[in-house]
């Protein structure tokens, strides 16, 4: 039983170190997809995006329809898709029929063959590279801009007649997590930036179905044209509204958690430390009254070693206390290497001991005068 209690005590001591020593990236990337890149012989006349987050806001189903106009008949690659971190890939249909996606190979000749030739507008010829041009396209996800490599894209061959067609894409995306000092914000992202490379922009319709998740969602798309964010919202645009769509689940925390965040772990630890120091001073006085003639006070010595450690440890514990009241779902545990505060322990021990020693010395001197 004693061993069990010792293990529990050790675990409690280590919890703040385990949960707060975190300096990883504040952004945990989820799935990232985008509007497609188009070839020379295709125009996208309209884009519909239907986003359905799940109950826990951990994944979202995307159903995207591209209304295209093919300028020629025959076997061709109408679109190039970029999608990273999707669950089980994604399904593509053209005019209601499934088509098989292929990954652009690692070793390719951008100028060799009709499929690549159709996307030559994305290449810049550089003299020292002869004809091995670099794919020049950029995606924006809200955190950074990234240049797309051609072999990161996926495509499909299809034999279609000239005229209008509908390409439908279905996939499930994982959420992103952005951690600040205290809270996690969850989001789904879809880059619209490839549309700036389209020859024309016919329009965009975005539908967000929040009935399953029922979260306090915000977006960067402005006020919906119809519906509302609590259930289903619809936006329609004639021009590109933003470089990317972001749908966020803003944290909802209790009044207690908000108050503790406002107070902060430093002030909380300081208030408790003041109480402990006050108690220590009371015990120093009691000990000295009983042992006026003793040269050293064991209460001063013991307290000067133990109390600075407890006060510093309280600072760590307060982070865990605030995280607890925030709740596991939204607590980021992203506090940095706060345990490094213990580098001040030796200095704090010396300073605190000198102050308590002086207090004890003055008390001893006064008691001797009173007893004469």
Q: Name which of 148-152, 302-306, 329-333, 367-371 the model is least confident about.
A: 148-152
For the chain, domain boundaries: 2-24+254-371, 31-249
Element (H, E) at 228: none
Task: Give me the CATH topology for the region 31-249.
Answer: Immunoglobulin-like (2.60.40)
- CA-nearest of 32, 30, 67 to 48 is 67
Place of tokens 């069990």: 4
Q: How confident is the model at residue 102 (pLDDT cuts 50, 70, 90)?
A: confident
**283-313 pLDDT, tens digit each:** 999 998 888 888 888 999 999 999 999 999 9
224: three-class secondary structure by DSSP: coil
**242-252 pLDDT, tens digit each:** 888 999 988 88
Q: What is the pLDDT of residue 291?
A: 85
- Residues 6+ positions from 343 with CB-CB distance below 8 Å: none
pLDDT (mean) for 191-203: 83
- Residues 6+ positions from 303 with CB-CB distance below 8 Å: 280, 283, 284, 356
Q: How confident is the model at residue 215 (pLDDT cuts 50, 70, 90)?
A: confident
Higher pLDDT, 116 or 260: 260
- CA-nearest of 186, 264, 190 to 31 is 190
**What are 39's strand-pairing partners?**
none
**What are 185's strand-pairing partners?**
178
Percent of the chain clearing pLDDT 90 (strictly above):
38
Residue 3 has pLDDT above 50, yes or no: yes
Q: What is the pLDDT of residue 167?
A: 92
**125-148 pLDDT, tens digit each:** 443 344 344 455 556 555 556 666
């Amino acid at each position: 039983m004693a061993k069990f209690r010792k293990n529990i005590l050790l675990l409690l001591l280590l919890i703040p170190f385990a949960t707060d020593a975190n300096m990883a990236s504040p952004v945990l990337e989820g799935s990232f997809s985008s509007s497609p890149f188009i070839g020379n012989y295709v125009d996208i006349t309209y884009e519909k995006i239907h986003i359905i987050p799940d109950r826990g806001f951990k994944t979202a189903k995307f159903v995207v329809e591209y209304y295209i106009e093919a300028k020629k008949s025959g076997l061709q690659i109408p679109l190039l898709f970029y999608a990273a971190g999707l669950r089980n890939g994604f399904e593509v249909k053209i005019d209601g029929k499934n088509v098989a996606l292929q990954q652009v190979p690692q070793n390719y000749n951008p100028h060799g063959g009709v499929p690549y030739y159709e996307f030559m507008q994305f290449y810049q010829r550089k003299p020292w590279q002869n004809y091995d041009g670099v794919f020049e396209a950029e995606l924006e996800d809200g955190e950074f801009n990234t240049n797309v490599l051609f072999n990161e894209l996926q495509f499909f061959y299809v034999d279609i007649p000239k005229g209008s067609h509908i390409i439908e894409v279905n996939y499930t995306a994982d959420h992103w997590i952005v951690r600040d000092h205290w809270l996690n914000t969850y989001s789904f992202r879809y880059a619209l930036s490839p549309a700036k490379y389209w020859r024309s922009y016919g329009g965009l319709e975005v539908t967000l179905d929040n009935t399953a998740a029922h979260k306090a969602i915000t977006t960067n798309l402005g006020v919906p044209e119809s519906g509302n964010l609590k259930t289903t919202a619809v936006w329609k645009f004639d021009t590109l509204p933003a470089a990317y769509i972001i749908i966020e689940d803003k944290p909802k925390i209790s009044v207690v958690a908000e108050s503790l965040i406002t107070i902060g772990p430093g002030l909380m630890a300081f208030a408790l430390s003041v109480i402990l120091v006050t108690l220590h001073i009371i015990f120093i006085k009691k000990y000295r009254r009983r042992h006026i003639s003793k040269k050293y006070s064991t209460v001063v010595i013991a307290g000067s070693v133990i109390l600075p450690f407890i006060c510093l440890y309280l600072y760590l514990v307060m982070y865990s206390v605030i995280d607890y009241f925030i709740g596991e779902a939204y607590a980021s545990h992203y506090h940095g290497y706060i345990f490094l505060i213990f580098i001040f322990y030796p200095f704090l021990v010396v300073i605190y001991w000198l102050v308590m020693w002086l207090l004890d010395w003055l008390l001893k001197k006064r008691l001797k005068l009173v007893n004469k």
